[in-house]
Amino acid sequence: MQTAAKQELQNSAMMIGRGKATRRAYGFDEIALVPGLITLDFELCDVSITLGKHRLALPIMASAMDGVVDVKTAVIMGKLGGLGVINLQGLQTRYEDSTEAYNQVIGCDNTQFVEVMQKLYAAPVREELIALRVKEIKAQGVLVAASITPNMARQYGPIAVKAGVDFLFIQSTVIGIEHKTAQGNTQLDLKAFCAEIGVPVIVGNCVTYDAALRLLDTGVEGILVGVGPGAACTSRGVLGIGVPMATAIADCSAAKADYEARTGRKVTMIADGGMAVGGDICKAIACGADAVMIGSPLARAEEAPGRGFHWGMATPSPVLPRGTRIKVGRVGKLEQIILGPATVDDGSQNLIGALKTSMSTLGAASIQEMQQVEVIIAPSILTEGKVFQTAQHLGMGR
């Protein structure tokens, strides 16, 4: 059966060569948001969202990466009003005390880190530590979100749910509605899993309208949008797979709108990766995202377990690493990065302040209204008039 996307592509006049139709896609750096007829006081802008049956005061989630989220940062994120997602197949569930493992990751040089990580992540995930980490976060009175891969969802998911997890994220580079093995059997049937597990399931990652629509039909509460844009991810180079984020979000959000109109069930679209500054977050929401998941901006927090380093979830892969370890430094408290006050001029701190200021300038009183603002294609938006900043490596020229 021909999908709507394939039909649209065939009707397009754009070709990269005979027999291969294509279409143009856009990233955050190629678009800009257009002010409308009214503006608002900053205080009138509501950035809260609904995820499942829960209300989050902030539309920001911390990525389930070992350099970003541990028990401590998950609790801080929850108390600030956002959500920290802990990786249930990372260092913190392989080692009861992961201090030495982190020391090795952080202490090795740029020629050693993949081999060091492969060795450290070869240690088995311990099911008792999955339960322990969930309980440690839960004991602090915040919502608990945890991430697992599709192939381990049926084994680890019930353990996390029994321990008190509130949201279960099922993540891989690209996820489908089912995963088939070489033997021809299905490892994960998402529809059955969502019906049985007992907590909201958020899945990722996805970048197309058709895939998003099919995933929503399985009963998931939300979808993570983005393949390869993360600061530490190398999937686009290793696999050649990816869609620029502005287009990916717009396509998947269109699927969400069509799904909600057809079923009446509200779901959440989460932009995942490729957002380094406040303006990127504003653009993601204007393209249709309800919330964002970010990694590298939060890896720079003083409390982050990576202590100034950030690495992708697929970096330790024993066969084909699709991530790297980057040094992001430490710039301030997690609260300062999210809520300010900012001490730098490049948009990397006070992310919520940037979002609310953008919304007030655009006349958007809510996330839903922000999704309706005008978006234009503007390839030179980051360089126009910024000669001195670029020359002096200040502000937007960094």
List active site positions.
233, 322
Nearest 5°: the CA angle 372, 373, 378 is 130
Contact 322, 292 (CB under 8 A): no
Query: In angstroms, rounded to a whole number, what is the distance separating the alpha carbons of residues 321 and 326?
Result: 14
Tokens 């999210």 found at:
338
Show the tokens assigned to 298. 């939060």
Half-sphere exposure of 381 (CA within 13 A, CB side): 16
Query: In angstroms, rounded to a whole number, what is the distance separating the alpha carbons of residues 63 and 270?
Result: 11
CB contact set of 27 (below 8 Å; sequence gap of 6+):
229, 244, 245, 246, 247, 274
3-state secondary structure of 371: coil
User: In 207-341, at which residue ranges do the beta strands (DSSP E only) sit?
Assistant: 222-225, 268-272, 291-294, 309-311, 325-327
Contact 287, 40 (CB under 8 A): no
3-state secondary structure of 62: strand
What φ, ψ does residue 69 adopt, rounded to 5°?
Answer: -120, 125
CB contact set of 319 (below 8 Å; sequence gap of 6+):
none
Buried b (16+ CB within 10 A) or exposed e, 203-222: bbbbbbbebbbbbbebbbbb
Residue 155 host element (H or E):
helix 153-163
Query: In angstroms, rounded to a whole number, what is the distance separating the alpha carbons of residues 338 and 348?
Result: 9
Closest by alpha carbon to 271, among 257, 300, 251, 241?
251
